[in-house]
Structure 1
Amino acid sequence: MKTTVIHSSIFGLVVGDALGVPVEFKKREFLKRFPVKDMQAYGVHDQPLGTWSDDSSLTFCLAESLCSGYNLDNIAQKFLQWFNAEIWTPHGKVFDIGIATDEAIKMIKHGADPILCGGASEMDNGNGSLMRILPLLFYLQDEKDLKVIFNRVKEVSSITHAHFRSAFACFIYVVYGLELLKGIDKREAYFNIQIKLKKFIAENDFEQKEIDLFKRVLMNDISTVPENEIYSSGYVLHSLEASLWCILTTGTYQDAVLKAVNLGDDTDTTGAITGGLAGLIYGFESIPEKWLSTIVKKNEIEELCEKMNDVYEKAEI
């Protein structure tokens, strides 16, 4: 198989997700005693080896939609098809779905405008849009205007999560990914986005109390925060911080995703968000073959990556 950055990032995400599925909701203290070191079967969700969750499913839906260009209605309909177990389930049924995503997709089913389906209150800031935003990188890879990037990211986030905090977390993740796509060192890329985003914030009239929440990521160096101050719940800000922390404090794909999963709680999502970036940084060959070989519907995922690469072709790695 000819592998590209799309294979690297998508499979990076899926493998991170599948590593986390069996131990989702397990506490960090438990995982300190019984750490995840390899792919496991069954566990919390009683799923076979290599099973991925809604994180990967919705990532595939977005990727597949983007193969036909950018269309919010089409993205939303893909989400609905997954919800109805018509596409992109590992075993023919949906076994894991966030409350906000569930509610948003029910609104899609009733014909609501996709951009109005996501919850927009402060309580609607789970990580359900961050976990699936990765494919948007490839659609936006040649876009230089941060305002355009922000607006596109906000639209795609808003299908399920419309609050500024969720959209901005997705925006930071995408902007970091866009720097990595240039082949820039992960730490240099991190400092680059801090400079770019501080300037972007200064040029826009965002609510200061919201921007202040991103201080540890944008104003400080998240990699210097001790582990006991890194949280791994389903809150979008925790997920963003945890994934960047795992990336910046490790040196391999394997170490990054295992560190992410062993933080506990929302293990599949922290693993997926971290894994997408780690795949981008270290390449497809860095993902252990013994993990890749377990992935459910691996051939279908490969075909999706190839289809997306035909549309958004980048250099092979």
Structure 2
Amino acid sequence: MGDALGVPFEFKDRGSFHCTEMIGFGTHNQPAGTWSDDSSLILATCKSIQENSDQIVIEDIRQKFREWLFEGKFSPFGKVFDVGNTTRTAIVSGQSQDNEYSNGNGALMRILPLAFIDCTEDDVRKVAAITHGHWISTEACVIFVNIIKEWQKGWNNGTYRSLEEIVHDLKLDPPFDRLCRIDELPESEISSSGYVVSTLEAALWCVLTSKSYTECLLKAVNLGDDTDTVAAVAGGLGSVKFSFHELPDPWVNKIKNNDLIQDCLF
């Protein structure tokens, strides 16, 4: 949902637009409700987990990424219209990109499914490293997954902790040290670029400073720049604080290729 809201506004400067509803066209000239590579790679990951009995099989996930890039599978219309340079290079070459200049958000944007299966931090790192192997990218994914798993653990064992409590208790070294107080910062100090740390910060900021799912997603898009990915990651984190049923029916009804989405979920 966040991905589709953000697609028409990707790369637009903050303050140059104001998103209030699900619209189409814009940056990528796609109809309303069209989702991008963020959701495609989440769905590809979900399908692999589903077909492998909730197990992580790295080569199978990689193969499904190839099917997406080269054949248009796991996309709303059978074609790819948006892909990051690092992701494309890694999929084409079959080699993880692990230099410090390859710390875009292309692994973080697709790591959400691992928050809902039994896996280790090393498993998260390996899935992230299919495309983004630098430690900053892999650790951002570990932090993201751990936050959601910690919330779920509290629900399951009767020691519920709010998302705010979990985030405020984080003790992390740079470049992740701002996360524990991210909701105290003003919007002017929140970057919404494609840098993985900025995306994680922006997504958490949107979730923690919003009172509803709708507000969270619109706030993420209206930060500008990498609108679809920030909103997609915020939507994933928001799923542990807000109810999907809070989202407007017109938005839900506009989402493209719902049959594919339902087929891939596990």
TM-score by length of 1: 0.78
> Which letter maps to 2:6?
G
Deviations 1:101-157 (A, max 9, x none): 00001012xxxxxxxx221111010000000000011123xx6xxxxx321111011
Deviation of the 1:179 alpha carbon = 2.1
In 2, are the aligned partners of 1:118 and 1:160 still within 8 Å (CA)? yes
Contact 1:65/1:71, CA 8 A, preserved across alignment: yes
Residues of 2 paired with 1:77 and 1:268: CA distance?
24
2:14 is matched with 28
Q: Could you tell me how far apart the structure 1 residues matched to 2:226 and 2:3 are?
A: 10
d(CA) in 1 for partners of 2:150 and 2:246?
A: 20
* Cross-structure match for 1:164: 135
Alignment RMSD, CA only?
A: 1.3
Query: What secondary structure sits across from 1:41 in the alignment?
Result: coil
Deviation of residue 91 (structure 1)? 1.1
CA offset digits 1:26-63 (Å, max 9, x no partner): 100203xxx10000011110001100000000000111
The answer to whether residue 105 in structure 2 is matched with residue 119 in structure 1 is no
Instruction: State yes or no: 1:212 paired with 2:189.
Output: no
**Aligned-pair CA distance for 1:70:** 1.1
Counterpart residue number, 1:174: 145
Shift of 1:188: 2.0
Percent sequence identity is: 43
Deviations 1:263-297 (A, max 9, x none): 00000000100011112321221222111100001
User: 1:89, CA displacement in angstroms?
Assistant: 1.1
Inter-partner Cα distance in structure 1 for 2:66 and 2:202:
29
Instruction: Give yes or no for the alignment of 1:151 onto 2:122.
Output: yes
CA deviations 1:175-234 (Å, max 9, x no partner) are 111123244422123234x1xxx3xx7xxxxxxxxx32111014xx11001110100000
Where do residues 46-195 of structure 1 align in structure 2 (5 Å cutoff)?
46-67=29-50, 68=52, 69-108=55-94, 117-140=95-118, 149-182=120-153, 183=155, 184-192=161-169, 194=170
Q: Which residue of 1 aligns with 2:158?
A: none
Residue ranges of structure 1 left out of the alignment (5+ in a row)? 1-14, 109-116, 144-148, 202-210, 309-317
CA shift for structure 1 position 86: 4.2
Q: Which runs of 5+ in 2 are unaligned?
A: 156-160
Instruction: Answer yes or no: is the 8 Å Cα contact 1:180–1:281 preserved in 2.
Output: no
Q: Is the 8 A contact 2:163 2:240 kept in 1?
A: no
Match of 1:238 in 2: 198
- Say how many residue pairs are matched: 257
The answer to which of 70-79 and 271-280 deviates more is: 271-280
Larger relative contact order (C-alpha < 8 A, sep ≥ 6)?
Answer: 1
Within the candidate set 278, 292, 313, 2:252 is matched to 292
TM-score (norm. length: structure 2): 0.93
